Structure formats: structure tokens, C-alpha cells
Amino acid sequence: MTRATLPGIVPVENDDENTKKKNNKKNNKRKMKTKIAAKIIDEELHNLKKKYYASASGRSLKETISSKKDTISDKKTRGKFERAMELDESAALENARRERYLSMEPSGVLEAETEKGERTWRFQQSEIIAHVDVNAKKKAFDLRLEGSGPYRSVDFSPNGQHLVIGGSGDGGHVANVEWNKHKLLSEIYLDENKDDENMREVGVIPAVKCVKYLHNTEFFAVAQTKYTYIYDKRGLEIHRLDKHRDVFAMDFLPKHFLLTTVGREGIVRWQDTTHGEIVAEHRTKLGKCSVLRRSEYNAVTHLGHSNGTVTLWSPNQGQALVKMLCHRGRVNALALDQSGRYMATTGLDCQIKVWDLRKYQELHAYYAPTEVKAMDISQRGMLAISYGSRVQIWNEALTTKAKSPYLNHQFVNGSKVFDVKFCPYEDVLAVGHSKGVTNILVPGSGEPNYDTFVANPFETKNQRREMEVAKLLDKLPSEMIQLDPNAIGQLRDVPKEVQKERREAALRAEMEAKMKQREKNESKTKMKGKNRASKRYRKKQINVIDDKMMAKLEAKKAREEGYKKRANEQGRAKPGVRAGAASDAPRKPDDAPDALRRFYK
């Protein structure tokens, strides 16, 4: 049925029809854009797949052996070829997708024009700051705090967004800073008593010896003159750790929630920060210790001692796991890389040694003009050392022996460097010296790719809370700390000597069991049908005396009397019995059968 209209008048369409047409056009455009984007992505993946094929020519197995596959008559061999082609194609596609969607950003480093005589270690911080963007310029700053220095310890939070500094001047000064925003969160003046009795005994002790963040930015620990304290981000004292006295160095194990300390007593302690109990404490028996670092690989604690040795400790064993003689003299500092393979140490002999912890052997050594006081290794493997008022950064100095430093920074006005610390996920090095704290730019030192499940530099308040709960749920027990973390969950191989002894013992036990069974079988009477039902019934009927039984007994008695009478008259024995000597029966011949013995004497 058609709608009637007046001549010269065009009918107006409904609003619903107009909106439908508009939506259809939008959907068609969206579909076209999606198809074009999918086509572009497919082309990109196709080009990226060529790098990941098994063949070096960039061709897949399907392209190389597809023509030869038809000539193979064996079904099993042809199936193997098809399976290999599928695996090659799927592996290449997966790697291509990973490269496209999860492309890792490379860490950029300074490059000098060697042809013109340039060297990276000659670049000054002022020149580097002049050639970076505005955001990077804000990361380099210099805090002049001459009244509260020297600043012997600095530490970054796990996500690299907060900085805590500890100065030993004016009775002690601790500050918690959100350094990216140049924002002071809290500041504490400790007012430690300089006339303490312990100070008179052992000499001058700094008011703040070490500072360390715990599992997040909410809490940090401060090793003061006598005790170790825990503060929150507002600077309020939360706990006083009475058992951690005269602490010189400390570290925190984030996966186990353990605070590790060592000090003048030479006792290394592990305290669980979730319930506050001391997990373990071991005497090193090597005097006071002021050098402590943890391994990111296996959470083993490394201590540097005054006799030149480095010991490795775990809360599960009362003795050192490994003891290494590293220097001729006191160990001043040590650092470990992220992989746990390399360790750098420095001592009183002015040497910087790099060790391979897989073999516990020295790889190479560097010489410093004077005694090195502090060192640290960045996430990308750069080594920072400090001696006097100078800081040097060495690139690729762990795996190979570098010929010259990567960067060099000199402090003026007699500023003596006490501590250096790389910032996680940032190209920044914090330096604590006698006049304050300075951040210098070190291009290429930080990890450019971060995992938000490990540490999120941009985490919000809710994300921080959720991360804290997740870490507590994933907390590892202290019993899992050992040299080889991959050995957990594996079966330990039994030595060959023990295996041989076990086989011999099992064979002896088997032979003894067989002998006992054999003796038991020999002593056992072999009687078949001894316990059958008819036998048991007859045994019961023997004790029953009735008329039938009496008749049987009389018949048996009569037979016995008849046998006797017949034997006396005829000289024969009863069946089954040999004839008597008084009978006139003949002697039994030797060849006579036993069945006829009753007819013979």
C-alpha cells in the first residue's frame, strides 16, 4: 500500500529513518577504517615475521619445503614436516606480535665523535643539561645543606619517585623528598646527644649512619647513633628497634619483607617487618662491619669485612655460605648488578675488582688514584665510584675491562663524597657529600621499560594500596633464601656411591626374604584337602555315639576277631599287615611286589 501525496509536495521522511541512515554510514566508515588498520597491521607483521623464521634467508619452512613435501610418500614423515612448518609460522608470528605491541625502548647513551678527539668523560654536566629537554633539566639539582652535612647515606624508593637523605650534622637531619616535583614531604631534626657514653668509648659516631626505604614510599628506616628507628612519610616515629643497636649498614628484602642490619657488634640480623619478629641473627666473628648489600637474584646478603673478605649469608644457616678473600685490607664498598652474576668490590688497597659470582673468580681489576669510599651499579650495568671529591661512571665495565670512564664529575669547594646511588627507571645519580646532596644526569643508566607489577613510577594512591596487598599475599618465606633459587622444587640428585649402597642393601634384603620363605615352605607339611568340608564333618561325627555308630563299631570288632581267628587257623595276616613269624607262610622274595607282602613272612 502506497502513501498518497499531493502533486508538487515531497513527503518528509521520519526522524528514525534519518538516524538509521546516519548510523549505517558511521558504521560503514568505522568498518572501513578497521579493515584498513587490520590490513596495515597484517603487512607490518608479515614484514616482521621474516626476521624470526628458522632459516637464515628470511623464508619460512612452508616456502622452502612445500614443494618437496608432496614427494614424500611416508605419512609419518610428511606429518612431521607439516608440524614443523606450523611451529615455525606460529613462533615467528608470536615474536612479531611481541615486537610490535611490546617493543622495548633502547636506553640511549652519550656518543662522542672520536674522529674529532671527543671523549664522553670530558663532557661536563652543564653541557649535558644544555642539550636535554625541560623535563630532564628539572631532574638535575643541587641541594646545599652545609649546616646539616655530611650526608653519608641517600636512598631512592623502589619506583624511583622519592628520595630520602640522611645527614649527620647538627645532631642529625633526615628529609623525605618527592624529588621529581621538588616537593619536601617531611623533614626531621633528630637532635642526637653528642655527649653519649658510647661516643666517648668508641670515638665520634655520626648521628645518621644509614637510611633505607622499606617495601614502598610510606615507611623508611634510619640507623641513628644508638638504635634503628622506622618513620612514616610524614616524619612520625613508628617503631624503635631495640635489638638493632649500633647499626652501620642495612638493606631491605622486598620479596621477603625482611630488614637486614649489621654494625659494631658484627651480628647480622633479619627482622620481618610484617609481624616484627627477628627471623635470624648470626655472628660473623669478623669484627665490626659497615658494608652490606643484598642480591636481587637470590636475596643473599653480602658483607664486606675489615680483613678484606666478603661473606655471603642466609638466615637459614648459621655460618657463611661463601667466604671470599677480595682485598688486602678493609673492604670499603661493594655493589651487585641486577642479574646477580657480577659483584664489584673496592678496598683499602685502592683497587676496584669485578667478580663472577657463578664461579667466584676475579674477572678484572681497576686501579684508583686514592681510596674509593662508595660505589653502586645501575639497572643497565653502569658502575659508579667515588673517591675524594670526584665521581666516575663506567659503562660496560663488568663484562669487559673498559679503557676509560663513561662520565666524570668533580665537586668543588672541598666537597667530599660519601655515598652514590642510582635512581631506578631514571637516568639520574644521587650523590651525598659534605655540603649536601646533588643529582647528576647519567644518560643510559636507568631501565626505560618498567613492569607495573614490580614497580610503577606513575602509581596512584589506590594502585599503591593494591600493590601492597598483592606483595603481602606473594610474600616469600625466609627459608627460601639460598644461593641457587632455581633449586627450589627440584629433586636433589643422589650420589652414585649412595645409589650403589642402596642397591646392595635392597638386594640383600630380597635374598634374606627369599631364604626365610624357603625355610618356611620346607618346614610346612604338605597335605592337600586337610580342611575340606567333608573332612571337618567326619571329625565331628567321630564324637557322636548313636545306634548307627555302635553298629559300625561292633562290625569293626567282629572283623578284627575274624581276621585274628583266620590268621591263627590258616596262617595268614589281615589285609595290609605282614604275616607273623609263627605262620607257615613262605619268605618274601626280593622281586615280589609290595602288594603281595601279606602272603609272605
Instruction: Return the pLDDT at 22.
Output: 77
34, 215, 255, 337 from 258: Cα distances, Å: 51, 9, 8, 20
- Residue 32 maps to a domain: no
Instruction: Return the pLDDT at 3.
Output: 47
- Residue 119 maps to a domain: no
Same domain for 135 and 254, yes or no, is yes
Give the type of residue at 598: R
- CB-based contacts of 284: which residues, under 8 Å, 6+ apart? 262, 266, 267, 268, 303, 305, 311, 313, 320
Chain-centre distance for alpha carbon 194: 44
- Residue 26 maps to a domain: no
CA–CA dist 300, 316 (Å, integer): 10
Number of domains in the chain: 3
Q: Is 166 left (phi over 0), alpha (psi -120 to 50) or beta?
A: beta
Same domain for 284 and 219, yes or no, is yes
Same domain for 372 and 270, yes or no, is yes
CA–CA dist 304, 247 (Å, integer): 14
Chain-centre distance for alpha carbon 359: 19
Cα dihedral 388→390→391→396 (10° resolution):
-100
Question: Would you tell me how many other CB atoms lie within 10 Å of the CB of residue 286?
Answer: 16
CA–CA dist 296, 255 (Å, integer): 10
Same domain for 386 and 309, yes or no, is yes
Same domain for 366 and 270, yes or no, is yes
Q: Which of 410, 430, 460 is the last residue of a domain?
A: 460
CA–CA dist 571, 566 (Å, integer): 7
Q: Which of 407, 436, 460 is the last residue of a domain?
A: 460
Same domain for 177 and 269, yes or no, is yes
Chain-centre distance for alpha carbon 156: 23
Q: Which three cell numbers stand for residue 222?
A: 634510619
Instruction: Return the pLDDT at 359.
Output: 92
Instruction: Return the pLDDT at 204.
Output: 61
Torsion sign over Cα 566, 570, 576, 581 = positive
Same domain for 90 and 141, yes or no, is no
| Global confidence as pTM | 0.68
Where are the extended beta strands (E) located within 339-416? 342-347, 351-356, 361-367, 374-377, 383-387, 390-394, 407-410
> Around 500, how many Cα atoms within 13 Å sit in the side-chain half-sphere?
3
CATH, residue 253: 2.130.10.10
**β-pair partners for 173:** 167, 189
Give the type of residue at 303: L
Q: What is the crossing angle of helices 75-101 and 15-49, to 10°?
A: 110
Angle at 53 between CA 47 and CA 56, to 5 degrees: 105
Q: Which of 460, 481, 500 is the last residue of a domain?
A: 460
Residue 47's domain comprises 43-66+80-97
Instruction: Return the pLDDT at 106.
Output: 65
- Residue 396 maps to a domain: yes
- Residue 62 maps to a domain: yes
- Residue 270 maps to a domain: yes
Q: What is the mean pLDDT of each run of 10 residues along the chain (601 residues)?
A: 46 64 80 83 82 71 69 79 84 82 71 83 91 91 88 94 91 92 92 54 72 94 94 94 94 95 95 94 93 94 95 94 94 93 94 94 93 94 94 92 92 89 94 93 89 87 92 92 83 84 93 89 66 77 75 83 71 52 65 73 62
* Residues 598/576, Cβ–Cβ less than 8 Å: yes
Q: What is the crossing angle of helices 61-69 and 75-101, to 10°?
A: 160
- CB-based contacts of 279: which residues, under 8 Å, 6+ apart? 258, 270, 271, 272, 315, 478
Same domain for 56 and 140, yes or no, is no
Instruction: Return the pLDDT at 200.
Output: 36
163, 323, 330 from 272: Cα distances, Å: 23, 26, 30
Same domain for 392 and 258, yes or no, is yes
Question: Would you tell me how many other CB atoms lie within 10 Å of the CB of residue 581?
Answer: 7
Question: Would you tell me how many other CB atoms lie within 10 Å of the CB of residue 81?
Answer: 16
Same domain for 344 and 204, yes or no, is yes
- Residue 50 maps to a domain: yes
User: Helix (H, G, I), strand (E, B), or coil: what is residue 95?
Assistant: helix
Same domain for 262 and 333, yes or no, is yes
* Residues 329/351, Cβ–Cβ less than 8 Å: no
Same domain for 422 and 546, yes or no, is no
* Residues 42/35, Cβ–Cβ less than 8 Å: no
- Residue 57 maps to a domain: yes
Q: What is the DSSP string of 509-540?
A: HHHHHHHHHHHHHHHS---TTTT-HHHHHHHH
